[in-house]
Structure 1
């Protein structure tokens, strides 16, 4: 696979990853290399990665706890302290080997330690490969509120080795597929149709779909790196999806959802709202609901859940001037930005989802 040029860096794939990494380390004068992993990727991914890492530069491994619950400033403080204790300086490199929690948090740690050191992302989950790989968004959660603290800062490179996907459980694979489905809905109906026929695909076909998904996101981000306009379309399904994800994290009696699972619900809700406000075709709305529920199952919500989730939307990063801004669709591949939606319509969307 050819490398994809993003904004001032490249996304490299599979065997080409390690060739490009070796070239970069040979050309750069790093004082030390720090590899950030979580407890899962330390066990399942680090041995393979280290076996492909060729360098004479001293290497230190830093491990954090796995899971979204640890994507916070407290974890960052722990990593910053370890970097200091191990004499990291401005010429150090941080390589983040893990899913979205590791790459988001590691990118933020690198961007802020000593006012910024270089970092490389090695996404090991499907979600991180197709979402966190492009755009330079780094950050952590504030309590249960998603990605409230962070900066946009590009890595030196991103390395996508799809062999790491063999270490993922099925629910993590499905979580990543949600972002790929989203790319089809917001950008390319032909890609959407490929994605809903996954049962007939081989692992090689999945590699091609991942590559195409990264291309779609890269086209959007390259045109609008700071999210002033077009890049907002990547938030389709996220306004409600993030609120649902945060809400379920706060309730001991409810089963939390992975990011992609929550976004799948958010996309069904957004399609209903699009149907009501933007005349999104009813037959496509119905098909999208069927696809999402077939793949992810149905989450049970009641009226009190609706109200609490709607209340959480006020914390969404895309809001401005006191308005909650939605990305909607007038058709597949035709997004509409900055739409204000009445609470009654959101309530009706939940009823449609539950029906």
Structure 2
């Protein structure tokens, strides 16, 4: 797979990525390396990474508990304290080795420690490879509200090693595939067909195209002033559902991808109601996504709380919930206003 050049950093693939990483570490003359992992990546990914890492620089490992519930300011404070105690300075570099929680949180920790040190992303899940690690967004959650605190900061380099995908269970692979479906629906009909209509598709073959699509959007709109909002397709309702399931004791937590799949079904329904999205495709999208992700139980009593959580979406302005909707696959419109009752109707459509 060929290297993808982002605005200020390269995205390297497979063995070449480790060669480029070694060159970067040598050229930058860092004082020390800090490697951020969670319980899972320490066990499943760290051994392979250390076999392939070529450096004589002093290293320290920072390990946190796995899971979205730890993507918060308390975890950051613990890491800042640990780095301080271990002698990190402004010439240290932080390598994030993990999924979206690790790359989001680690990038935020690095970009704020001593007003900013370099960091390198090595995503180990499909979700983080095609979405979270690319694009310069870092951040943490505020309670159950997703990614409310953060900064735009770019890594020095990204390593995409598909071998890490073999450490994942099928549910995590499905979770990451939701973001690939998002890219297909907004930018590439063939990609949408490949991933939703072919159960035997080799997901690794779709990673490079997915990253390319995101990178093209980010290059044009790095700070999400306009076009980049399209990358939130499915996320307005999806994040509300994800947060609600996260905070509700009676609900089993959803993966990010499972929640975004719900959001894409609902927002496809809204697209047909408010724009020109073909009505016959609404049921196709619903059937295909439920076949991949299964169906979560959402009851009428859940709707008010989900709607309240949607009010905290980062795209909202002046209390208005803003959506990305589709006129058709590959044709989108940003900053769409949707009446509350129609939003609730779309969630009922999913639940029906």
* TM-score between both structures, scaled by the size of structure 2: 0.99
Root-mean-square deviation over aligned CA pairs: 0.8
Local SS of the residue matching 2:237 = helix
Whether the aligned pair in 1 keeps the contact of 2:194 and 2:201 (CA below 8 Å) is: no
Offset, 1:110 = 0.1
Distance in 2, matches of 1:116 and 1:313, equals: 31
Per-residue Cα deviation, 1:194-229 (whole angstroms, up to 9, x for no partner): 112342334xxx322100000010011111001011
Offset, 1:46 = 0.2
2:50 corresponds to: 50
When structure 1 is superposed on structure 2, of 312-321 and 257-266 the one drifting more is: 312-321
Per-residue Cα deviation, 1:223-269 (whole angstroms, up to 9, x for no partner): 10010111000000101100100001111111110101000000000
Segments of 4+ in structure 1 off by > 4 A? none
Distance in 2, matches of 1:302 and 1:33, equals: 48
Offset, 1:282 = 0.9
Local SS of the residue matching 1:315 = coil
1:103 corresponds to: 103
1:233 corresponds to: 230
Offset, 1:286 = 1.0
5+ long unaligned stretches in structure 2: none
* 1:330 matched to 2:322: no
Per-residue Cα deviation, 1:49-102 (whole angstroms, up to 9, x for no partner): 011111111011010000000000000000000000001000000000000000
1:224 corresponds to: 221
Question: In structure 2, which of residues 265, 289, 294 is the aligned counterpart of residue 292 of structure 1?
Answer: 289
Distance in 2, matches of 1:289 and 1:64, equals: 37
Whether the aligned pair in 1 keeps the contact of 2:126 and 2:172 (CA below 8 Å) is: yes
Distance in 2, matches of 1:190 and 1:277, equals: 25
Distance in 2, matches of 1:351 and 1:119, equals: 43
2:137 corresponds to: 137
1:29 corresponds to: 29
Distance in 1, matches of 2:84 and 2:161, equals: 30
5+ long unaligned stretches in structure 1: none
* 1:314 matched to 2:308: no
Distance in 1, matches of 2:319 and 2:199, equals: 44
Q: How many residues are treated as equivalent by the alignment?
A: 352
Offset, 1:133 = 2.7
5 Å matches for 1:28-177? 28-177=28-177
Whether the aligned pair in 1 keeps the contact of 2:38 and 2:66 (CA below 8 Å) is: yes
